[in-house]
Amino acid sequence: MPARAVVLSVLLLVSPLLAQSDPPARPNIVLIVADDLGYGETGAQGATDIPTPNIDSIAKSGLRFTNGYVSCPYCAPTRAGMMTGRYQQRFGFEFNPLGVGQKGVPIGLPRTETTLAERLKPLGYATGMFGKWHLGSAPTLRPTNRGFDEFYGFLGGMHPYLPGPVTRDGPIYRENDPVDPPAYLTDALADEAVSFVQRHAEGPFFLYLPFNAGHSPLEATEKYLARFPKIADTRRRTFAAMLSAMDDGIGRVLGALRKADLEEETLVIFLSDNGGSVAENTSVNGPLRGHKIEVYEGGIRVPFMIQWKGTLPEGKTLDFPVSSLDIHPTTLAAAGGEAPEGLDGVNLLPFLLGQSEGVPHEVLCWRMGASRAIRMGDWKLVMLPRGDSELYDLSADIGETEDLSEAHPEQVETLRAAFDEWNSQMIEPRWGNAPGQGGRPRRK
């Protein structure tokens, strides 16, 4: 067993209080999030038309989850769950932040919730975020007030990639000051991330790099467009260029870790915030059904990879379900922190190191307005806005093509009862709008 794995094994057994006061190993943590990237859009996932060698290298040097899920098929709620390790429905963050808050309460991630950055800072971590926030634009809810020492990026849900007028989602900020937009935003975010690694090479650090690629608008520079002369569809060609730019940027961050001799000292995670938005950006979710906004697999199952050289196995594929909710407790455990009560995510390290049998999750649930789903083992129940339900056996039907609800009514009832039990613990959405469902939910 590698030396670091031995250290980590000891860490998992010692008292959390001892680990918190003097952790024997505190890896750097790099969390990279793509935006609206479909399940089938990287080489590691089987894509052939857009090379993604740097993203693929994370899977080759670590672990790839074939059943990696996010907690929502929509941007901001997934980020809220990922940052807190809790189902976002527990605190009313069910939709993207829209509208005006009630009684002066700003819209965004509530101050009652604790972010991963806020938990890592007391453990001695330098914290930096570069990219898309989407968890609140009020001053009290911005990254620099939610645990991040450094911030470069934007606060809303989308932003142009090329220089131009300030959008409704606001300017690019450095900390809390607007700055002139860069030549190409994806390159600028990678520049900032590389600089952060270089300046904090003595560690430990937490680098959160949520790219907005490949979210709309579809914009790319000629440098990246020139790589895909054979793609005739101009929208697909631009998306390919955007993905290629992000892959380059990820490669530069990984290169900075390598140059600083930090690869074995760094836990790297890559995933998408939800499935591809086929209509907006041409992203491919195959062989899955559905897309962003839907609770079919294409909306919630995403590329999901983790690398920690010298500690985790390399080049291995894992098939048990994992969730973006697991990122919070997993990285916190690696850092020597104590997971608080009330997290829905699971520390994956014992499962990844072969120290725990079974699977991290027997049940996973999704709710975004009237669109709802539950996975229990290989069975998945999809509860549609129009009121009917569909049952699928994902072990035999990854594409959700054969509805088995009439053949297995007992499974439908079992899963529905389990969902109702989970749902009874959640609260109603506090604000926002359910996409595609026509209107604002009732406020609580």
Nearest partner of 425 among 87, 18, 12, judged by Cα: 87
Indicate which residue of 75, 215, 291, 365 is catalytic: 75
379-383 and 389-393 beta bridge pairing: antiparallel
CB atoms within 10 A of CB 440: 14
Check residue 75 and give left, alpha or beta (phi > 0: left; psi -120 to 50: alpha).
alpha
Q: Report the b/e string of 117-155 with b at 16+ CB within 10 A.
A: bbbbbebebbbbbbbbbbbbbeeebbbeebbbbbbbbbb
Q: Distance of CA 58 to CAs 25, 52, 79, 267, Å? A: 21, 11, 21, 10
Between the CA of residue 291 and those of 97, 140, 247, 276, 287, what are the distances in Å? Answer: 21, 33, 22, 6, 11
**Residue 243 near residue 37 (C-beta atoms within 8 A):** yes
- Asked about 328 being catalytic, the answer comes back as no
Please, are residues 198 and 260 in contact by the beta-carbon 8 Å criterion?
Answer: yes
Helix (H) or strand (E) holding 150: strand 150-154
Q: CA-to-CA distance for 31 and 264, rounded, in angstroms?
A: 16
> What b-and-e string marks burial along 51-69, b requiring 16 or more CB atoms within 10 Å of the CB?
bbebbbbbbebbbbbbbbb
Q: Which of 72, 134, 159, 328 is catalytic?
A: 134
User: Residue 117's closest CA among 137, 97, 142, 92?
Assistant: 142
Residue 126, strand partner residues: 205
Q: Which amino acid is at 29?
A: I
The angle subtended at Cα 327 by Cα 240 and Cα 66, nearest 5°, is 55
> Do 27 and 265 touch, CB atoms closer than 8 A?
yes
3-class state of residue 275 by DSSP: coil
User: 291 catalytic, yes or no?
Assistant: no
Catalytic positions are 75, 134
